[in-house]
Amino acid sequence: MTTEKRILITGAAGYIGHQLGNRLAKDYFVIGTDLYWREGLDFPLEVLDVRDNNLVLTLAEYRITHVIHLASILQASPDRQRDYDIDVNGTRNVLEACVAAKVQHITVTSSGAAYGYHPDNPAWIDEDDPLRGNPEFAYSDHKRQVEELLEKYRNEQPQLKQLIFRPGTVLGAETRNQITALFLSPRLLAIRGSDSPFVFIWDQDVLDAMEQGIREDKSGRYNMAGDGALTIQDIARKLDKPLLTLPVSVVKTGLQVAKWLGKPVGPEQVNFLRYRPVLSNRRLKEEFGYRLRKTSAETLDYFIENARRKGDL
């Protein structure tokens, strides 16, 4: 085992965190933190909230040089203030602890959602395009605010090197999220007059790129997406499912009814379905130097193949 890097991963019991930790633990000291225990880890895990003031003590005790901050609320709850506290204030606590403990490097998973869902988004979004995460969509809004915090720390604490990834829709053999739930439903939904393309990235490409970034001490901001994009019509054909195309007014009404039923959605969030950010991966390939193993289409095909094998499709 080399000792030059000592790594702490927040959200280490999660889907990406436990796989990344097991990879890195082959060569480095790795410790994870999370709210929940998980079996099958090749590294120790402490049950610790990212908002806990004791985080700095953990960093100092284990002489951590590199932090990988993955802890995040992926699916909004009815308690938006709690989600904000974990996402934004939790990240602030991680950054403050890193500075106090003299951590050298932090890797953060942001999201393509930080760019926001807007009708005037560029056809292909570059890392220098503005971050305009929609206030009405908690996940998007919180990712934007997290990135504003990161920018502040880049300016004020440049000794803490930052590597930021902004993934599109992550798919793999075992992926389960809001997007895969849409794909596994009996039929797909489209809004009339909106192509709203998707970009996908294979979960193993995500892991490979993150591992490369840690091993090579990379810094910078990078979109994560496979080559190419697919419209909802393309996706429906690949899934061999009917596509229900509705006017935006009907979708807004449906979201309002869901809100009345206590779901964390509302009619103001219809732009999530209409104006998805389409991420350019040019910098990931040319500047970061990562060689993608699957395109967007190949990633979706892989997900479909495994979903059918398991009987989910």
Contact 76, 83 (CB under 8 A): yes
Give the pLDDT score at 264: 66
Measure the CA–CA gap between 306 and 311, rounded to whole angstroms: 9
Query: Amino acid identity of 91?
Result: T
Q: What is the mean predicted confidence (pLDDT) over 298-311?
A: 96
Amino acid at 102: K
The predicted structure's pLDDT at residue 296: 98
| pLDDT of 1 strictly over 60 | no
Distance, in Å, from the CA atom of 144 to the CA atom of 135, rounded to the nearest integer, reads 9
Q: Tell me what pLDDT residue 2 has.
A: 43
Q: Show the DSSP H helices in the chain as ranges.
A: 15-24, 55-61, 80-84, 90-100, 138-156, 178-184, 203-215, 232-239, 248-260, 271-274, 282-283, 296-309
Mean pLDDT, to the nearest integer, of 53-64? 97
Residue 115 DSSP one-character state:
G
pLDDT at 194: 85
pLDDT, one tens digit per residue, over 135-152 is: 988 899 999 999 999 999
In this predicted structure, the answer to whether residue 301 has a pLDDT above a threshold of 70 is: yes
pLDDT of residue 266: 76
**pLDDT at residue 255 greater than cutoff 90:** no
Q: Mapping DSSP to helix (H, G, I), strand (E, B) and coil, where does residue 303 land?
A: helix
Arithmetic mean of pLDDT over the chain: 93
Q: Give the whole-angstrom CA distance, residue 243 versus residue 91.
A: 39
Asked if residue 3 has pLDDT above 60, the reply is no
What are the distances in angstroms from CA 313 to CA 29, 104, 187, 189, 272? Answer: 40, 45, 11, 17, 25
196: its two tokens = 């709203």
User: What does the alpha-carbon distance between residue 103 and residue 168 come to, in Å, rounded to a whole number?
Assistant: 28
CB-side neighbour CA atoms (13 Å) of 1: 11
Distance CA 294, CA 168 (A): 14
pLDDT exceeds 80 at position 270: yes
Return the pLDDT at 177.
82
Q: Nearest CA to 9 among 74, 53, 62? A: 62
CA distance from start to end of the chain? 43
Q: What is the pLDDT of residues 154-194, one digit of tens each?
A: 999 999 999 999 999 999 999 988 788 889 989 998 899 88
> What is the DSSP secondary-structure string of 277-297?
--B--HHIIIII----SS-HH
In degrees, rounded to 5, the angle at the alpha carbon of residue 190 between the alpha carbons of residues 80 and 277 is 60
Helix and strand numbers, DSSP H then E, in the chain: 12, 11
Buried b (16+ CB within 10 A) or exposed e, 251-279: bbeebeeeeeeeebbebebbbbbbbbbbb
C-alpha 220/C-alpha 312 separation (Å) is: 38
273 and 251 Cβ atoms separated by less than 8 Å: yes
Distance CA 19, CA 60 (A): 24
Could you read off the pLDDT of 194-234 as tens digits, one per residue?
A: 887 999 999 999 999 999 999 999 999 999 999 999 999 99
Residue 74 has pLDDT above 90, yes or no: no
